[in-house]
Amino acid sequence: MMKNSFSVQCIVITMLFIVSTGASYHPPQKVGCANSRSKCSAKSVTCPVECPSVQPTDPNAKACYIDCNVPTCEAICITRKPNCNGSGAACLDPSFTGGDGTVFYFHGKSNEHFSLISDPNLQINARFIGLRHEGKTREYTWIQALGMMFDSHTFSVEARKVAKWDSEVDQLEFSFDGKALVIPEIHLPGWKSPEQDLKVERTSNKNSVKITLTDFVEISINIVPVTKEDNKVHNYQLPSNDCFAHLEVRFRFFGLSPDVEGVLGRTYRPDLKNPVKPGVAVAVVGAEDKYRTKSLLSSDCNSCVFSPTGVVANDNPLLMDYGTLDCSRGGNGGNGIICKK
């Protein structure tokens, strides 16, 4: 009797959710961990009623995701566009949130490239755009493109230069192994590489995508312009022929080694000695010379450790899983990391 009563309660709760949101009901899917090295990889978890699908047909709906970073291996609802407040985020001018939860600025330099992540199996670079006004001590910069290297492959995603922003026009450009890649402006099914290890899917029909490299990283990307309000508040003095369209990015890492390097990568090292001074609300981190690369798809920085053939085996027990590490909840972020602000 108790079991039947519980089932009826679940049905009632489900129907109330459907009525209140106007959503159509679909049985929740089962979801597994995208990282084969995680302790959750062998488990299959039922999605919550609030987000029953891994790939919802509505691009604005939350997606079901298994949190591979907690012992319970629970399924959670996530917003598919980047969350600029969580660990692994790179947004605005550009502000980073490190693996330890520390928020910092890395301004780099306009029209130059810097390594965000450099690991034996993975290299991710960023191209910065920006401008400087007379009398200013530094440039205003934003991330305009990402370049990724893994195995012997390359992939890039970038925002086109736009004079006036129109959200109804897609401004994303892609390449794979040096050739232009066209991702249809439809939510599903997306694109997969010949080896099926790299996947690109639209999280909205235009200007938002999620990139997944199996067992290594998920990257949520959204293109945004510098708004008129931001231009006024920060006195950017944007030219009339460029709204500085740039990328908002959120990384979720699955297989970083303890020796990972890069502007963002260094914050995921277990031996991190954070240069950010206590009491500084948002510190500015330099070290441009350590992380500068010659191009978007180059791993020649002074601190880069990427090897095109990869030298860390996928089953290496030292690889660290930072799948959905979220320091915004405060306290312990998992994997031996204490979240700080």
Q: Which of 266, 243, 234, 261 is nearest to 138 (CA)?
A: 234
The answer to whether 326 and 86 are in contact (CB under 8 A) is yes
Neighbours of 143 (CB within 10 A): 26
When computed from its CA atoms, the radius of gyration of the chain, rounded to whole angstroms, is: 21
Residues of the chain with pLDDT > 90, as a percent, come to 52
How many whole angstroms separate alpha carbon 337 and alpha carbon 100? 6
133 Cβ contact list (under 8 Å, min separation 6): 237
Q: Which of 249, 284, 276 is nearest to 140 (CA)?
A: 284
Residue 320 pLDDT grade (very low, low, confident, very high; cuts 50, 70, 90): low
The answer to whether 52 and 64 are in contact (CB under 8 A) is yes
Residue showing tokens 């931001």: 230
Read off the pLDDT of residues 286-305 as tens digits, 9 standing for 90 and up: 889 999 999 999 999 999 99
How many whole angstroms separate alpha carbon 27 and alpha carbon 218? 26
Could you tell me the sign of the dihedral formed by the alpha carbons of 175, 181, 185, 187, in that order? Answer: negative
How many whole angstroms separate alpha carbon 83 and alpha carbon 97? 11
> How confident is the prediction for the chain on average, in pLDDT?
81
How many whole angstroms separate alpha carbon 10 and alpha carbon 302? 57
Residue showing tokens 């235009």: 206
Res 218: pLDDT = 93
Q: Which of 154, 145, 331, 322 is nearest to 249 (CA)?
A: 145
How many whole angstroms separate alpha carbon 246 and alpha carbon 224? 6
Burial class (CB in 10 A: 0-12, 13-18, 19+), 99: buried
Q: Please determine, for residue 10, whether its predicted confidence score (pLDDT) is greater than 80.
A: no
Q: Which of 111, 177, 171, 187 is nearest to 149 (CA)?
A: 177
To 5 degrees, how large is the angle CA 98–CA 306–CA 247?
A: 45
Residue 312 pLDDT grade (very low, low, confident, very high; cuts 50, 70, 90): very low
Q: Please determine, for residue 117, whether its predicted confidence score (pLDDT) is greater than 60.
A: yes
Q: Please determine, for residue 15, whether its predicted confidence score (pLDDT) is greater than 50.
A: no
Read off the pLDDT of residues 325-334 as tens digits, 9 standing for 90 and up: 444 434 333 3
Q: What's the whole-model pTM score?
A: 0.77
What is the 8-class DSSP label of residue 341? -
Read off the pLDDT of residues 214-247 as tens digits, 9 standing for 90 and up: 989 999 999 999 999 999 998 899 999 999 999 9
How many whole angstroms separate alpha carbon 210 and alpha carbon 201? 5
Q: Please determine, for residue 4, whether its predicted confidence score (pLDDT) is greater than 90.
A: no
Q: Which of 29-38, 56-65, 97-106, 260-269 has the highest mean pLDDT?
A: 260-269
To 5 degrees, how large is the angle CA 338–CA 93–CA 201?
A: 80
